[in-house]
Amino acid sequence: MKKSVALAMMWVVSFLVFGILSPCWAGIKMEINEQTRGEIGIWMQDWYQWVEEGKINGDGYEDLNDFMIRRAYLYLNGDVTKYVSFFTHLASDKVGMETPSGGTLDSSGMGLGSGVAWRDLWMTLNLSEAFKIQMGRMYVPLTRNYGTTSTKCMLTADLPFLQGGSRGGIFYAQKVGRDDGLTIWGNPFDGLLQYRLMISEGVEDNAKNPEDNLRIVGRISLSLLEPETGWFNMGTYLGEKKVLSFGFGMDRQEGLTLAGNVDQDNTVWTVDAFFEHSVGEGSVTLEAAYMDIDNCTQGSSNFYHDLIAGDDAQNWYVNAGYLLSKPIGPGRLQPYIRYETVDVDNKNPTDFFSGGLNYYLKGHNCKLTADYMRVSPDHPDKDDRGIFTFQVTVGF
């Protein structure tokens, strides 16, 4: 235990030096003519992670020390004409991540653990600000935190645990948070409302979706202060925007076979709220969400909670952060906390408590994050576990 902590501190110091000296730039913009223009850039999040009893060793457990590239994105977006645009992400996630069984994550086709994959790849027909048609691989427009928020601009070190954060899995059918399909979306009433309606593939496995039924996902949000009109939101606007928004999402796919039971309908609904405003000389960020899951589509049990395919569950979380106004050295400090719970019907609930610090050297383009999470399953055979994460983010 003492060796693990000492090793963690040594690498934290090394990463601090690297992070402070790393260059941060704006994306490279290109223009061919008045209508055709684009932008190219790269984004990387490097992690050191210590997991208490996170590795299976015979009949017991031992601590896990892990270095990984949490996210590496090469992005290109542009406008081809006044009405047609595109966006692409080439990505690798969790490169070098060690699993509880002692192996390394490897799903190269999805760009997980090894390989590079198209994470986002879509084209948009921009008929008006209130009506756009988008087709390709893109976010599933269900939740706020992994349905609209960019993982480059999160308040906390990572997403909620049940949406793929830290060492968790995503509870809905997806291709690393995305799906292939068509989305109609827009911002009517000067951005007071934003709607997104997607028809996509969802569960594709012939054994799990024998009738090849499509999935329908929808989300609507109401912005009462400054509007959020883009495809990607921020998890914190660093005091540069005043936001009060409320969202509702729903996801449904019928006729599935889950946990050996045929003709099952997967239904998820969620509500969320987001608030950011100046308070005192700094800025506060608050976010909360609730998700009700009926017939979960995900198949295998997670090392940290009891949710599997066919289960019904309730999941909710609360995030809160405060950005200090005055710089400390070359950057600004933002402490944050999160509480999340996964409550599976007729099974044991699991709570996740976490807190951390962001240190912004150049906004979201260059920051350092230290995070500690306590995983507390209400289960006779599962002990509490601590997870410490140190992250360096650099992008342009």
Burial 12-24 (b: 16+ CB within 10 A, else e): eeebeeebeebeb
The predicted model scores a pTM of 0.90
Q: How far apart are CA 367 and CA 362, in angstroms?
A: 7
Sequential DSSP letters for 365-388: TEEEEEEEEEEEE--TT---EEEE
The CA distance from 107 to 99, in Å, is 13
From residue 161, give the alpha-carbon distance in Å to each of 165, 166, 209, 250.
4, 6, 26, 20
The pLDDT score that the predictor gives to residue 22 is 36
Name the strand (E) or helix (H) holding 394: strand 385-395
Averaged over 71-82, what is the pLDDT?
94
Q: Each residue of 124-179: pLDDT tens digit?
A: 999 999 999 999 999 999 999 999 999 999 999 999 999 999 999 999 999 999 99
Contact 369, 360 (CB under 8 A): no
Dist. CA 214–CA 211, nearest whole Å: 9
- Type of residue found at 21: L
The mean pLDDT of the chain is 91
**Bridge partners (DSSP) listed for residue 317:** 289, 340
pLDDT class for 300, splitting at 50, 70, 90? Answer: low
The enclosing H or E element of 344 equals strand 332-344
- Average pLDDT of the segment spanning 245-263: 95
Q: How many CB atoms lie within 10 A of CB 286?
A: 16
- pLDDT tens by residue, 257-280: 998 899 999 999 999 999 999 998
Q: What pLDDT was estimated at residue 154?
A: 97
Overall size of the chain counted in residues: 396
CATH of residue 246: 2.40.160.10
Q: What is the pLDDT of residue 50?
A: 97
Q: Which residues span the domain enclosing 78?
A: 2-395
Domain count, the chain: 1
CA 326 – CA 57 distance, rounded (Å) = 47
32: Cβ–Cβ under 8 A, 6 or more apart, which residues? none
CA distances from 323 to 227, 280, 355 (A): 21, 11, 14
Neighbours of 357 (CB within 10 A): 15
Of the listed ranges 5-14, 90-99, 276-285, 375-384, the least confidently predicted one is 5-14
Closest C-alpha to 292, from 329, 254, 250: 250
Residue 171 region, left (φ>0) first, then alpha (ψ -120 to 50), else beta?
alpha
Token pair recorded at residue 12: 């934290």
Residue 66 bridge partners (DSSP): 49
CB-based contact 300:334 (threshold 8 Å): no
8 phi, psi to nearest 5 deg: -60, -45
pLDDT tens figures, 341-380: 999 999 999 999 999 999 999 999 999 999 999 999 998 8
